[in-house]
Structure 1
Amino acid sequence: MAFRLRKPLALAVAVTAATILSGCVGTGAAPAASEGGGAHTLTIWHAYAGQPDKVAFIDWALKGFQKEHPDVKLNVVSAEQSSYKTKLQTAMSTGQAPDVFYTLPGGFLKAFVDSGQVLDLNDELKKKNWGDGFIPSAMESVTFKNETYAVPIDMDAAVVWYNKKLFASKGWGVPHTWDEFLSLSAKIAADGEVPVALGNKDSWPATFWYQYGVMREQGSGVVTGMANGDANASFGPKASDAAGMLQTLAQKKYLPTGANGMSDQEANLLFMNGKAAMVLNGTWQIGMSADASKDFDLGYFPFPKVQGGSGDQSDAIAGVAAAFAVSKKAADKQDAVDFLRYMTSPAVMKKYVELRKTMVTLKGATTADVAGPVLAGIVKDVVEPAKHLDPFYDTTMSPKAATVYYSTLQGLIEGSTDPASAAKAIDEAVRAGK
């Protein structure tokens, strides 16, 4: 996922942001420092368009880098997450890779690594102990066969978010088990509200429901194990039960009407406007909810326990959401690496936490003073108590497997596939590893 849109913006704005010309920094006007004739041109692609908190961060970061490197002329291209992935894959397949590019970790990045298009950063990470500053588990998602090909930027954990003021006004209690969750959803629906905001037009929002279902029913580490060639890793019989959990929400009409055709932005508006009571999303939800009305009070709870499930019920979905890598074809690799160093410096990482209210991969940067009480609470209540942190399935899978994964979950929601068939299709796609 990770990859996650916020308030609806006009498409024209997103298109404009995606076509920033040479010398322009971020999604706004170019600062004066970038207008001069730099000795080098560095082409940077990123997927921070479409959300105000993301745009605020990348504009700030790019202007800071430009100020520190006035001899480098920036050619910045941005897009929102879904269109960005397609754009980058097309560029890679035609040999037109940008110098520096935003990437998902795991299988998405590995496809480019396997085709020989990404610079190995091992030697650079050893200089001045740069690599030692990262959380070790975060580095695993961008490291293949002991070689690291990107620097991880942020980490997200997925929890169930709810409107505390709405719950209090209705007398609804926070559920602790899946049965309690379904009972609560029935009450919410009977009261004329949408129990769960889900806009699955871009496919990734539904993934958390299936993954948590597998984790609670069967256990964590399934997709990671399969991706790493573990012959014993498999979606077992209980994966069908996990798929059934998502389909139950759709069949009981606990999701918005037409969830597969609704964007994540539209679903989030339902949630923030009190028209939907809950949403399962990553910690980026904090930033997405920053502009909600005074009648909205963001709360969270861990994904409910599944009674009888064989997985550890404390486990949480948490993993690297995004990273930056350097193309092997970069004209000036030192400028490109300098940009990665800058983006992962303490000052920039703390600013990221402050503006986006999400965890970062640099040790000691996600502090309470910049993270705020909600994020700090999730670290304390969800991340730290978890026996296992399972990385996002779709970023761990190969791109082809992820495509099957997305379409299969859409089929579950619309009712065109059954839970057993869905679990089998996902298992086969991940096992194929292509």
Structure 2
Amino acid sequence: MSAGVALPLLSACVTGGDDDSDPAAGNSGTKSADNPLGVKADAPLEVVIFKGGYGDEYAKKAGTLYTQKYPAAKIDHQGLQKIGEALQPRFVANTPPDVVDNTGASRLDIATLVASKQVSDLSQLLDAPAFDEPGKTVRDTLLPGVVDDGTFDKVPLTLNFTYTVWGLWYSKPLFASKGWTFPKTWDEMLTLCATIKAAGIAPWTYQGKYPEYINDPLLGMAAKTGGLALVKAVDNLEPNAWKAPGLIGAAEAFAELAGKGYILSGSEALSHTEAQAAWSQGKAAIIPCGSWLESEQKGVTPPNFEMVMAPVPSRTSSEGFKQTAVQAASSESYLVPAKAKNPAGGMEYLRMLFSKQSAKAFAESAGTLPAITGATDGLTLSSGLGSVRDAVTAAGSETFTYRFRTWYAPLAKAVDDATGELVNKRITAVQWSDRIQKAADSIAKDSSVKKYTR
């Protein structure tokens, strides 16, 4: 399952006992310019990595950097798929590893870990000198939004290694052969869709069983109209946030897409792999997805398909964000447990993992954009990854992301369900807005749900 699909979270109790002893006692060294985090040179280090689509070789390479600097330190590296099942008992027992890549379908629920104070504050890591970029801190080397993505109640608790960008994908040679230009405005999109349909191709398809895929361009369009104020109002559960003109306008646009017959018939029943296969077979010209699409389609996409990603078109001329803005967020989430035996070593390992040399090697092997600025400089990139890098460059500081999906799973489901109904012509844009607002109000009033603000 891809990074864009809502994944079940392991939310059972992970609260440790009342043991006040310091498991890190005796495992710190003297801080210096060469050792900014105070690593004890011979302290063992335990690293647990989610071994998913990216494997774990990239993480082992960071371990090699660590042992080169601290040859007396023994590293216990474990690559696992079921992080939650393996580590929940250890968090309960206050015996967690020193570094955890908390990713995958059975990852530990970060909100629960945060509430039970099981995660270390990473401020000193972010403010430490970057491993291989003189004059910069680790914080300085990260792409826009990465620190915020791992911040809870103004404290940075996780650090995400990969950078996902959402947009609309098409085959560059197909568009070139037909003389089509990818649209920048929604009016241009509707005109192009009519042309594509006349050529005997469905203009759009989407991963119908997972309507969050088509939520992304809808919400991206809304943000381009309403700006960061709209995004924050949604995430902060403000009254009537979902009734903002930007959101209703975006819903109307996607209702129009469906109403004009511009979505491949039967898309509602397709899984993400089925919809993406239909697209790569030329049955549809455009598909919404995150930047993992190219690697997920390896072995399926025909030769010379040359998929590229474009930003979502703007619907209005008075924009909150420019048309080049993109929805982007970091993922592959790393943390240092609060009860780790070697937290200084855990943070030092992350300082090396988030180095430019480490990120560059990852970009080459994984075909995915790391969360580190300049990681792809000088590399020959595939068409998809190159277009993602170009989109991030063009967006500059105008990247945005909604956080309600991470913070409030029931609201995310309500949005998904309503959008599925909208693009299958069973409800109107106003009904879509009313349904979601009702769900948001219910969560806002529920005192048992911890609230976050931005």
The offset of 1:233, in angstroms, is 6.3
Q: Does 1:360 align with 2:366?
A: no
Write the letter of the residue equivalent to 1:424.
Answer: D
**1:297 equivalent among 306, 317, 320:** 306
- Partners of 2:264 and 2:327 lie apart in 1 by 24
**Counterpart for residue 33 of structure 1:** none
- Partners of 1:202 and 1:339 lie apart in 2 by 36
| 1:244-263 matches, cutoff 5 A | 244-263=252-271
**Counterpart for residue 345 of structure 1:** 355
**Counterpart for residue 3 of structure 2:** 3
**2:413 equivalent among 403, 414, 417:** 403
**1:281 equivalent among 289, 297, 302:** 289
**Counterpart for residue 422 of structure 2:** 412
SS at match of 2:119: coil
- Partners of 1:230 and 1:117 lie apart in 2 by 30
Identity across matched positions, percent: 23
- Partners of 1:156 and 1:102 lie apart in 2 by 17
The offset of 1:43, in angstroms, is 6.4
- Partners of 1:340 and 1:224 lie apart in 2 by 30
Q: Does 1:44 align with 2:48?
A: yes
Name the CA shift for 1:282/1:189 in 2 (closer, same or farther; >3 Å). same
The offset of 1:139, in angstroms, is 0.8
Name the CA shift for 1:123/1:176 in 2 (closer, same or farther; >3 Å). closer
- Partners of 1:111 and 1:427 lie apart in 2 by 26
| 1:10-89 matches, cutoff 5 A | 42=46, 44=48, 46=50, 49=52, 54-55=53-54, 58-65=55-62, 67=64, 71-78=74-81
Number of matched residues? 385
| 1:165-184 matches, cutoff 5 A | 165-184=173-192
Q: Does 1:113 align with 2:87?
A: no
The offset of 1:279, in angstroms, is 1.6
The offset of 1:285, in angstroms, is 3.2
The offset of 1:378, in angstroms, is 4.8
When structure 1 is superposed on structure 2, of 205-214 and 108-117 the one drifting more is: 108-117
More helix by share: 1
Write the letter of the residue equivalent to 1:73.
Answer: D
Kept in 2, the 8 Å contact 1:224–1:396? The answer is: no
The offset of 1:350, in angstroms, is 0.9
The offset of 1:208, in angstroms, is 1.3
Write the letter of the residue equivalent to 1:102.
Answer: N
Q: Does 1:150 align with 2:158?
A: yes
TM-score by length of structure 1 reads 0.73
When structure 1 is superposed on structure 2, of 393-402 and 261-270 the one drifting more is: 393-402
Q: Does 1:272 align with 2:280?
A: yes
Over residues 372-406 of structure 1, what are the superposed CA-to-partner deviations in whole Å (9 max), with x where a residue is unaligned? 57645554556435663211455564333223222
SS at match of 1:3: coil
Write the letter of the residue equivalent to 2:303.
Answer: K
The offset of 1:198, in angstroms, is 1.0
**Counterpart for residue 321 of structure 1:** 331
Write the letter of the residue equivalent to 2:115.
Answer: D
Kept in 2, the 8 Å contact 1:398–1:430? The answer is: no
**Counterpart for residue 15 of structure 2:** none
Write the letter of the residue equivalent to 2:428.
Answer: D
- Partners of 1:187 and 1:136 lie apart in 2 by 37
SS at match of 1:384: helix
Name the CA shift for 1:269/1:355 in 2 (closer, same or farther; >3 Å). farther
- Partners of 2:265 and 2:198 lie apart in 1 by 15
SS at match of 1:218: helix
The offset of 1:241, in angstroms, is 2.2
SS at match of 2:227: coil
Write the letter of the residue equivalent to 1:311.
Answer: G
Over residues 35-91 of structure 1, what are the superposed CA-to-partner deviations in whole Å (9 max), with x where a residue is unaligned? xxxx96846353x63xxxx33xx3322443555568333343226xxxx8xx68x95
Name the CA shift for 1:308/1:285 in 2 (closer, same or farther; >3 Å). same
Give unpaired runs (5+ residues) of structure 1: 6-38
When structure 1 is superposed on structure 2, of 186-195 and 272-281 the one drifting more is: 186-195
- Partners of 1:200 and 1:392 lie apart in 2 by 21
**Counterpart for residue 28 of structure 2:** none
Kept in 2, the 8 Å contact 1:154–1:322? The answer is: yes
The offset of 1:242, in angstroms, is 1.3
SS at match of 2:210: coil
**1:192 equivalent among 171, 195, 200:** 200
Write the letter of the residue equivalent to 2:376.
Answer: T
Aligned-CA RMSD value:
3.9
- Partners of 2:229 and 2:197 lie apart in 1 by 34
- Partners of 1:130 and 1:308 lie apart in 2 by 38
Write the letter of the residue equivalent to 1:305.
Answer: S
Kept in 2, the 8 Å contact 1:227–1:430? The answer is: no
Name the CA shift for 1:313/1:341 in 2 (closer, same or farther; >3 Å). closer
When structure 1 is superposed on structure 2, of 143-152 and 248-257 the one drifting more is: 248-257
TM-score by length of structure 2 reads 0.70
The offset of 1:3, in angstroms, is 1.0
**1:218 equivalent among 218, 226, 229:** 226
The offset of 1:270, in angstroms, is 1.9
Name the CA shift for 1:170/1:137 in 2 (closer, same or farther; >3 Å). closer
